[in-house]
Amino acid sequence: MTRSLGYFTDVALRRQEGSLVQALADATVVRSPANPTFWWGNFLLMPAPPAPGDLPVWEAAFTRQHPRAAHRAFGVDVPGPALSSPVADEWRAAGYDVRADTVLTATRTHAPRRLNRDAQLRVLQGADWDRALALREAVNAADPHGHEPDGYRVFARRKLAAYRAAQAAGHGAVLGAFDDDGRMLAGLGIFDAEDGVARYQSVETHPDARSRGLAGTLVHHAGEWAREHLGARTLVIVADPEYHAQRLYQSVGFTPTEVQIALERRPAE
């Protein structure tokens, strides 16, 4: 069992999506054969933070376990703190994004101060999945650090297929906020990580529909849904501490609980 709550939920959800999880003596390997370009479906989970000079050893280990991967992704199975400056600098110099994300938890959410009452909130069904793909593509296109469109479309389609299969198996759901014309304005996933823990995934709002209270409304709605349908006692969501989403999650009842360390290098453009 992982020691980091963030990675405990990550690994649990990857299993539900069909990923293969292998515990080795020196690391945990996560593989997603159905979605090889999903970086955090194909990664190594370190048992402890890397020490100075460990970078070549870990890169060699990643290549052994993921020989065809163009990316590199490592998690650290310790609930913070952030990496020491010498280690972080070493990995950054090698082209890695060194992240210390915030893992937030709540036993129950409350309605946001700005509750959106116009959108229709529902679990995705039928043609909604195509609308979810359109939403993800719109969000990616508006992101100044977004991914190449064609490759992203392939990844997003595979990722939504994995969510859909997990939903069909009763592990959770993807929920959306829709306008009167059926366009998906915001979406997220929430899935059972076992032991009464439910984890949010991919909270997104269409670029044309921001500042309407949609994300906070949907996060709260999904939390209540998970309590009713999954028996969730602990809700978990992860956020970049430098992005506004963390403040939004705290505004509906989440509290920072731990730090999740991630080391990621994108494929060469």
pLDDT digits (tens, 9 = 90+) for 154-180: 999 999 999 999 999 999 999 999 999
CA distance 73 to 54: 15
Phi, psi dihedral angles at 118 (to 5 degrees):
-90, -35
Please name the residues in contact with 194: beta carbons below 8 A apart, sequence gap of 6 or more.
12
The reply to whether 134 falls in a domain is: yes
Burial class (CB in 10 A: 0-12, 13-18, 19+), 46: buried
The structure tokens 């999945």 sit at 129
Are residues 93 and 141 both part of a single domain?
A: no
Bridge partner list, 74? 44, 263
CATH number of the domain enclosing 179: 3.40.630.30
Q: Does residue 127 share a domain with residue 44?
A: no
Q: How far is the C-alpha of 8 from the C-alpha of 80, rounded, in Å?
A: 14
Any domain includes 244: no
Please indicate, yes or no, if residue 59 is contained in any of the structural domains: yes
Where is 172: in which H helix or E strand? Answer: strand 172-178
Q: Is 108 contained in some domain?
A: no
Q: Give the residue, 82 or 176, on which the prediction is more confident.
A: 176
Mean pLDDT score of the chain: 96
Note whether 89 and 48 are same-domain residues: yes
Q: Regarding beta strands 184-194 and 197-205, do their DSSP bridges make them parallel or antiparallel, or are they unpaired?
A: antiparallel
Q: Where does the pLDDT of residue 194 fall: very low under 50, low under 70, confident under 90, or very high at 90 and above?
A: very high
Indicate whether 265 belongs to any domain. Answer: no
Same domain, 97 and 153: no
Return the pLDDT at 2.
57
Whether 148 and 227 share a structural domain: yes
- Give the pLDDT of residue 239: 97
**Model pLDDT for residues 97-142, shown as the tens digit of each residue:** 999 999 999 999 999 999 999 999 999 999 999 999 999 999 999 9
127 and 82 in a common domain? no
Determine how many CB atoms are found less than 10 A away from the CB of residue 195.
11
Say if pTM beats, i.e. exceeds, 0.85: yes
* H or E stretch at 65: helix 55-65
User: What is the per-residue pLDDT across 57-76, written as a single tens digit (0 to 9) for each?
Assistant: 999 999 999 999 999 999 99
Predicted confidence (pLDDT) per residue in 6-50, tens digit:
999 999 999 999 999 999 999 999 999 999 999 999 999 999 999
pLDDT digits (tens, 9 = 90+) for 204-238: 999 999 999 999 999 999 999 999 999 999 999 99
Q: Residue 178 sits in which domain range?
A: 120-232
Same domain, 220 and 173: yes
Residue 27 to residue 202: CA distance in whole angstroms: 26
* Interatomic CA distance for residues 171 and 163, integer angstroms: 9
Burial of 83 (0-12, 13-18, 19+ CB in 10 A): buried
pLDDT score for 19: 95
In the chain, what is the greatest distance between 2 CA atoms, to the nearest angstrom?
56
How many separate domains does the chain show?
A: 2
**128 and 83 within one domain:** no
